[in-house]
A and B are shown apart, each in its own frame.
Chain A
Amino acid sequence: MKYEVQENCLTIYLPGDVDHHQAEEIRQEADRLIERNHIRYVIFDFAGTNFMDSSGIGVIMGRYRKVYMLGGEVWAVHVNERMKKILIMSGVTKIMQIYEEEKTNAEYM
């Protein structure tokens, strides 16, 4: 797992499987970084993720609660179709926006 802090923004590069086991570690490390660096924006990067269950939803909601009092936001990037289905189904997209990259012409062809 990799974490990256840029000013008041934390990017969490999520593991392949986001389950209860992995969630514990993400939560601890993310909260340590959020407090130490006065983080307002948390970005969950799903580029390497193919599995997530409701424990992952708990992690997103928990980080949202930490930053929204300070006017912060949580975002999801590089979300595949399966992850999008899980996020929308859980209702977590009401508090977290999914960043959709515009497709280049090459990808349409």
Chain B
Amino acid sequence: MQNTCEIGNEMELSFDSRSSNEAFARVTIASFMTQLNPTLEEVSDVKTAVSEAVTNAIIHGYENTLHKVKIHAWIQGKTLWLEVADEGVGISDVKKAMEPLFTTRPELERSGMGFSFMEAFMDEIEVISEVGKGTTVRMKKTIGKGRELWTTQSL
């Protein structure tokens, strides 16, 4: 019996806070999670959540100035864990920031739905932030929940 609490695989990614790197980040995570044998739907869900978190780091965390965005990803059993971190301005009121349609940047046509999308597409999300220090968004998603486990039946 495999110990499902053990960390199966782990990776770290650090890249410039340029909008062109948003695609790079989500494609990299999509590639990393293929070892969990996810459905296309599950891959799309994770890609959307990564895109939202990285976009937040670039626009809000770093206010479009050039610094590093870091992603730490690991797999524990059938669960994918993700941490997207910036060392930017931080969030003074996390609860408010996570309200649907709330945005501090309406002039940039931000829809205020970034955190709502992350919550909808991942199983859990936690936001750790300190003003002046930065923000870390930790998310997890268990892969394969929606499928019947017929392959695991003993023959």
Does chain A bind chain B?
A: yes
B51 A58 Cβ-Cβ under 8 A: no
Does A54 lie within 8 Å of B113, measured CB to CB?
yes
Q: B130 interface residue, CB < 8 Å from A? A: no
Min CB distance B35 to A, Å, is 21
Cβ-closest chain A residue relative to B54 = A20
Given A51-B47, A53-B117, A82-B44, residue A59 in contact with residue B109 (CB < 8 A): yes
Which residue from chain B places its CB closest to the CB of A62 in the assembled complex?
Answer: B109
Given contacts A58-B109, A61-B111, A82-B44, whether A24 and B117 have CB atoms under 8 Å apart is no
- Using an 8 Å CB-CB cutoff, how does the interface string of A87-106 with B read, 1 for contact, 0 for none? 00110000000000000000
**How far is it, in angstroms, between the C-alpha of A54 and the C-alpha of B112 when the chains are bound?**
8
B-side interface size class: 20 to 34
Chain A at the B interface: SS class: helix
Interface size class of A (residues with CB under 8 A): 20 to 34
A20 near B111: Cβ-Cβ < 8 Å: no
Interchain CB contact under 8 A, B22 and A61: no
Residue-wise interface mask of A (32-74) relative to B, using a CB-CB cutoff of 8 A (1 in contact, 0 not): 0000000000000000000101110111011000000000000
Report which A residues bind B (CB closer than 8 A). 17, 19-21, 23-24, 27, 51, 53-55, 57-59, 61-62, 82, 86, 89-90
Chain B interface residues (CB < 8 Å from chain A): 19-20, 22-23, 26, 41, 44, 47-48, 51-52, 55, 58-59, 108-114, 116-117, 120
